[in-house]
Amino acid sequence: MLRLVLIGAVEGSKIAFDALVGASLPPVLVVTLPPEAAHRHSDFVDLTEPARQAGIAVFHTTNINAPASLDAIEKSEPDLCLVLGWSQICRDQFRAIAQLGNVGFHPAALPRLRGRAVIPWTILLGETTTGSTLFWLDEGVDSGAILMQKTFSVDEDETARSLYAKHTGVLAQMLPEALALVQSGNPPRIAQDHEQATYCARRTPDDGLIDWHEPAAAVLRLIRAVGDPYPGAFSYQNGERLVIDKAVLLPDSHRFIGLAGQVQCLTEGGFAVRCGDGICIDVRAWRWQAGGRPKLHSNFGGDR
């Protein structure tokens, strides 16, 4: 049986952990963030207790390339390291430990959309297809040879949560198949076409700020792209941040005249806001981060 080390600290890491245990392929060591570093990921999941309940050793670190981390991994004598939900580049010393190599996961059909914040960018770009990729780690960023890749469609109303669930579901399906290929002794190593590579820039929570002068379709796309499990799209009213979790187009928007970012009316499920193209969105779910209620005739873009 393969001696596996699992490195990860997010929801997808937990789903991968469950898939490995369910397939009778439990890792010999789980490397994860300590709970006090949970702020590093909006989708952080603490793997400590699930691993210990399964009788699996746990090592906490904030730096996978630190000497203590490398020592803990080396002592576990891994055949293969699985880096599934870890946001640091794995350096040469790390990659030299496992006998058979190191496999990472990326929520895109590599070589396209390498880099960070891939799920939000997939939606923001209006992609109609995407893929989940298991690949061999090398010295680059998401540039290693492909072990396995599965593609699937992106729905027109896809949200960050629904696309995240698609990727993690595919990851759970792929892992046992991919590990069987590794055990066969001749697993695929399909070189990426680097000429076709595109690169996604890092996103911060502040990038969720809504520009109400944008068309309604663009505002709705941002709300879908950066919502759960990410920080969300937001605006300001009277200095208070309002995070919008769900919105739809408002029928008969032409009846409302006002400014971009202005609340036009209360609706059955929430309130309507006018966008830059004169079309209103109906906000159905929202959160005030410092209390408060939406007021008619306020301008959400006025004090940002």
- The predicted pLDDT at position 295 comes to 45
Q: Give the mean pLDDT of 35-59.
A: 95
| Inter-residue contact 63 to 88 (CB < 8 Å) | yes
Does any domain span residue 8?
yes
Same domain flag for 252 and 146: no
pLDDT band at 258 (very low <50, low <70, confident <90, very high): very high
| Sequential DSSP letters for 284-303 | EEEEESS-----TT-BTTTT
Report which of residues 304 and 267 the model is more confident about.
267
pLDDT digits (tens, 9 = 90+) for 157-195: 999 999 999 999 999 999 999 999 999 999 999 999 999
Last-in-domain residue among 180, 200, 220 = 200
Burial of 191 (0-12, 13-18, 19+ CB in 10 A): exposed
Mean pLDDT, residues 16-23 taken together: 97
Dihedral sign from CA coordinates of 188, 174, 17, 88:
positive
Q: Are 297 and 259 in contact (CB under 8 A)?
A: no
Q: Is the pLDDT of residue 274 over 90?
A: yes
The reply to whether 128 and 211 lie within a common domain is: no
d(CA 143, CA 124): 23
34 and 183 inside one domain: yes
In a domain, 178, yes or no: yes
In this prediction the pTM is: 0.92
Domain end marker among 184, 200, 216? 200
Tell which of 200, 229, 248 closes a domain.
200
* 202 DSSP 8-state letter: P
Distance CA 266, CA 128 (A): 34
- Residue 268 covered by a domain: yes
In angstroms, the CA 9 to CA 17 distance is: 11
Does 296 map to a domain? no
Domain of residue 242, residue span:
205-288
Instruction: Note the pLDDT of residue 170.
Output: 98
Beta strand 114-115 with 199-200 is: parallel
110: in domain: yes
- How far apart are alpha carbons 12 and 275 in whole angstroms? 35
Judge whether 73 lies within some domain: yes
The answer to whether position 42 is within a domain reads: yes
Please check whether residues 271 and 251 belong to one and the same domain.
Answer: yes
